[in-house]
Structure 1
Amino acid sequence: MIIAETDRLIIRQFEQRDIPSIFLLNSIPEVLTYIPGEPMTCVEQAEEIFNEVILSSYEEFGYGRWAVEHKLDNKVIGFCGPKYITEYDEVELGYRYLPDYWGLGLGSEAGRSALEQFQRFGIDEVIAIILLGNKGSENLAQKLGMKHRNRDSFMGHKVNIYHKKL
């Protein structure tokens, strides 16, 4: 299901065919610098994330992380979308992109477009949970109109929490 479309991007629900892209996004150490956990080592791990995390979120909440597909090359280049965070009882806007697409404004393009869709899923405010030192993600959160709320701990890591009412 397509969630939104921009000039350069299609934001849509992940599908079974995207499992190799999920693996790629979770196996490149450079992409995971500020993500807790180890890089994936086999595609079966991505299949498990797809089935047990992504599809479960779609079924339980009606939303979840969305695939970001680049129109020019018909390739899933990342994800951007909501995820309910139990520890905070809030919805997070999460995003991650392949390094070849960094610095092109695609993160803010996808983020703006995704945030415009949140209210149709009953989401009227959002947070971003960003590990300390991740200036790229902090800059993107700020570009999307999010304000620093506080510093906290999440999954055993120090994080900055950004917040926005929609």
Structure 2
Amino acid sequence: MMEILRTERLRLRTVREEDADFYLELVNDPAFIEHIGDRGLRTLEDARRALREGPLAMHALRGHSLYLVERLEDGAPVGLSGLIKRDSLDDVDIGYAFLPRYRGLGYALEAGHGVVKHARLLGIRRLVAITTPANAASIGLLLKLGLRFERQASLAPSEPPVNVYLADLAALDR
């Protein structure tokens, strides 16, 4: 486990295979499935494999990934937030998902601000985010983080279009 950053109430750290139970619950949340997609993960072994092949592999390859967000007060895992490089997008993407019982408490915004600062420290000059057009909560969060609507795009021929948001981090340095 490697701590990536801390905020007032949260620690963001690299995921471990031991986080599989949390990850399995998160990806099977109905809101996750509706707005992000059904990952088809139904067992702890599926979740461990997905963590190995997803965030752990990306962190080893790129030096960033989705991070586990946990509360400082008790270490409870509340969600994921971090930086993803998708083949379908030119720029690094900020991503996040939180368990239902931790939504509406400001954790996503707090973690998101930390991730944006972390991206700047890594030298990332442009940051994008994607969300379904119907996900009002996610759109509101992206706007609070300083991203602005850029366009709609289909990331794959068989997928419906998503909204793409952009922040020019280099312009913020000026």
Name the TM-score class by shorter chain: over 0.9
Task: Give the RMSD, CA atoms, in angstroms.
Answer: 1.3
Counterpart Cα distance in 2 of 1:56 and 1:157: 27
The structure in which a higher percent of residues are strand is 1
Encode CA deviations 1:130-164: one digit per residue, 9 max, x unaligned. Answer: 01201111000000000000011124022100000
Closer, same or farther: CA 38–4 of 1 in aligned 2, 3 Å: closer
**How many angstroms does 1:165 deviate by?**
1.3
Residue 160 (structure 1) aligned with residue 163 (structure 2): yes
Q: Which position in structure 2 is the counterpart of 1:33?
A: 34
Residues 29 and 39 in structure 1, CA contact (< 8 A), matched pair in contact too: no
- 5+ long unaligned stretches in structure 2: 170-174
Encode CA deviations 1:73-117: one digit per residue, 9 max, x unaligned. Answer: 311111110000111121100000001111111111000011101
Residues 18 and 48 in structure 2, CA contact (< 8 A), matched pair in contact too: no
Encode CA deviations 1:16-68: one digit per residue, 9 max, x unaligned. Answer: 22121111111122332211225532111111111111111011101100110
Counterpart Cα distance in 2 of 1:151 and 1:54: 26
Give the residue type in structure 2 aligned to 1:54: P
Residues 10 and 71 in structure 2, CA contact (< 8 A), matched pair in contact too: yes
Counterpart Cα distance in 2 of 1:140 and 1:80: 12
Q: Which position in structure 1 is the counterpart of 2:9?
A: 8
Residues 108 and 144 in structure 1, CA contact (< 8 A), matched pair in contact too: yes
Q: Which position in structure 1 is the counterpart of 2:116?
A: 115
Counterpart Cα distance in 1 of 2:16 and 2:106: 25
Residues 19 and 43 in structure 1, CA contact (< 8 A), matched pair in contact too: yes
> Equivalent pairs: percent with the same residue?
29
Counterpart Cα distance in 2 of 1:22 and 1:141: 23
Residues 93 and 128 in structure 2, CA contact (< 8 A), matched pair in contact too: yes
Q: Which position in structure 2 is the counterpart of 1:24?
A: 25
Counterpart Cα distance in 1 of 2:102 and 2:133: 22
**How many angstroms does 1:3 deviate by?**
1.1
Matches within 5 A, 1:6-85: 6-38=7-39, 40-85=41-86
Report the number of matched residues: 166
Q: Secondary structure at the match of 1:82?
A: strand
Q: Which runs of 4+ in 1 moved over 3 A?
A: none
Counterpart Cα distance in 2 of 1:28 and 1:93: 20
TM-score normalised according to structure 2 size: 0.90
Give the residue type in structure 2 aligned to 1:113: G
Give the residue type in structure 1 aligned to 2:74: D
TM-score normalised according to structure 1 size: 0.94
Counterpart Cα distance in 2 of 1:122 and 1:46: 31
